[in-house]
A = this chain, B = another copy of it.
Amino acid sequence: MAGVNGAVQYAQAQQAESLGQLEDLLRIPSVSTLPENQPDIARAAEWVADCLKRLDFERVEILPTARHPMVCGEWLGAGPDKPTVLVYGHYDVQPSDPDDLWNSPAFEPTIRGDNLFARGASDMKGQLVAFLRATEALKANEGLPVNLRFLIEGEEEVGSPNMLPFVQQERNRLQADICLNLDAGILAPDVPAITYTLRGLAYFEIRLEAAKGDQHSGTFGGAIDNPAQVLAHLIAGMKDRDGKILLPSFYDKVRPLTPEDRADLAQLPQNEAWWKEQAGVAHLFGEPEYTPTERATARPTLEVNGLLSGFTGEGSKTVLPARAMAKISCRLVPDQDPAEITESMRQYLIDNAPNTVTWELLTHANAPPGIVERESPAISAAQAAFEAVWGRSAVFSRQGGTVPVVGYVKQELGMDSLLLGFGLPDDNLHAPNEKLHLPSFYRGIQVYIHFLDEYGRAGAG
């Protein structure tokens, strides 16, 4: 660890400057979904690009997309013998409304106790500034021990619609040994965590059609089939009431959880009571042989996201619907392949849809699961960094959600992603009174310093 003492001391001495820089960025209301914030999006992109320029990065550019630009830049001064890290983050934020539920204005950063309140403080301007500060501390002292490339987008909060074509077009600008994704969190201020898997996603829309148009249920009821009921039978057959998914070959590629995986997940503070409290339910549901945390993060799912058929207004209409639609998505775990799961769904429909309906299967999303092997240089470096800063090792955490960019860099660039960030579960992401826990922010800067140092020595060159 001696190698980065200078950088660590620099970061500790400059906490006020780090906070000030974060507050500057938080004052820009870079809400990506609202057209009126277009100028703020542009200002935030310039703010990030200016930072990179001040750090002597090269090829710093604000690259347009169909909507909001990407900010890229690179520093390859560590040389070809050192590994290269692609740093992913986003400068856009969620809208602040309902504003009247904020205790201080969303875009006027305000400190109360240990927390800094502002929209984007935790998701994820805090992580972005922390990493920039770690970079600055290293450059001002021991020097950067790895090559760095930045990919900072402005559309994460609207679903990253332009990320895939961008990654496809800008392969040269993005090549690296690992993607360090800053959009992540820990489990509690005293429970550092490394997210080493993400679930993938296969998102379908099933459309059934029976009669040539909506019919009268008095005239035709009993003589013809009802696509809403066919849909109910099909959905009921996709997953049983023990939570087991019944699509053909669905579990074939699921990598079994090792005893070590399960022991790690069992250590997490998310017990049954926690899950009930978080979801606001009296009873949990799912595969009885797995814990709720395993089911929500390490097991694949099949969930209906939407249902629509016939008359759905107030009161009654005696229609026998001609059509029925379901949106259904599967969260996938290593080593499931979304294309194979799509084929599994198609085969299920071929095998089970009756001849009274015609059906169509649309695919809305197709993201592979993400995993960093636990025996890998990036994981070892992250673990060493946490031990150096927190004085304890991080728990291994799995994230149940899907981060599209993780799938895209894996699919297009063959690159694993390590998710390393310092948000907390109670940071009110996407909600009023979003906050950042400042002690975790300052420790985060140091973790990034140590991570780059460790990875520079252990990572592939």
Interface residue A280 (Cβ < 8 Å from any Cβ of B): yes
Whether B222 lies near A356 (C-beta < 8 A) is: no
The digit string for A205-230, where 1 denotes a CB below 8 A from any CB of B, is 10000111101111111111110110
Give the interface SS of chain A, mostly helix, strand, loop or mixed.
Answer: mixed
How many copies of this chain does the complex contain?
2
> Which residues between 293 and 324 of chain A lie within 8 Å of chain B, taking CB atoms?
293, 295-297, 299-301, 303-312, 315-321, 324
Whether B316 lies near A305 (C-beta < 8 A) is: yes
Whether A310 lies near B319 (C-beta < 8 A) is: no
Whether A220 lies near B299 (C-beta < 8 A) is: no
Tell me the nearest residue of chain B to A203, going by C-beta.
B316
Interface residue A349 (Cβ < 8 Å from any Cβ of B): no
CA distance in complex: A458, B10 (Å): 110
Whether A401 lies near B219 (C-beta < 8 A) is: yes
Interface residue A461 (Cβ < 8 Å from any Cβ of B): no
> Which residues between 246 and 286 of chain A lie within 8 Å of chain B, taking CB atoms?
275, 278-286
- CB-CB under 8 A from A236, the residues of chain B are 229, 232-233, 235-237
CA distance in complex: A209, B23 (Å): 41
Interface residue A450 (Cβ < 8 Å from any Cβ of B): no
Chain B CB within 10 Å, residue with most, of A203, A305, A309, A355: A305
The digit string for A341-371, where 1 denotes a CB below 8 A from any CB of B, is 0000000000000111000000011000000
Whether B308 lies near A212 (C-beta < 8 A) is: no
- CB-CB under 8 A from A329, the residues of chain B are 217, 316, 318
Tell me the nearest residue of chain B to A330, going by C-beta.
B221
Whether A306 lies near B296 (C-beta < 8 A) is: no
Whether A402 lies near B243 (C-beta < 8 A) is: no
CA distance in complex: A282, B356 (Å): 7
CB distance from A294 to the nearest CB of B (A): 8
Interface residue A327 (Cβ < 8 Å from any Cβ of B): yes
With A223-B279, A232-B236, A321-B305 as given contacts, are A218 and B312 in contact (CB-CB < 8 Å)? no
Contact among B220, B306, B316, B331 for A222, CB-based, below 8 A: B331
Whether B216 lies near A401 (C-beta < 8 A) is: yes
CB distance from A155 to the nearest CB of B (A): 15
With A295-B223, A312-B327, A327-B316 as given contacts, are A279 and B215 in contact (CB-CB < 8 Å)? yes
Interface residue A95 (Cβ < 8 Å from any Cβ of B): no
With A281-B356, A309-B304 as given contacts, are A316 and B365 in contact (CB-CB < 8 Å)? yes
Contact among B215, B231, B285 for A223, CB-based, below 8 A: B285
Tell me the nearest residue of chain B to A295, going by C-beta.
B222
With A307-B307, A401-B219 as given contacts, are A224 and B281 in contact (CB-CB < 8 Å)? yes
Whether A218 lies near B319 (C-beta < 8 A) is: no
Contact among B226, B281, B331, B355 for A211, CB-based, below 8 A: B281
The digit string for A361-398, where 1 denotes a CB below 8 A from any CB of B, is 00011000000000000000000000000000000000
> Which residues between 9 and 36 of chain A lie within 8 Å of chain B, taking CB atoms?
none
Whether A311 lies near B284 (C-beta < 8 A) is: no
Whether A306 lies near B321 (C-beta < 8 A) is: yes
Interface residue A405 (Cβ < 8 Å from any Cβ of B): no
Contact among B279, B285, B292, B307 for A228, CB-based, below 8 A: B307
With A303-B217, A303-B320, A304-B310 as given contacts, are A286 and B222 in contact (CB-CB < 8 Å)? yes
Interface residue A447 (Cβ < 8 Å from any Cβ of B): no
CA distance in complex: A356, B281 (Å): 7
CA distance in complex: A285, B320 (Å): 13
Whether A400 lies near B218 (C-beta < 8 A) is: yes
CA distance in complex: A215, B320 (Å): 31
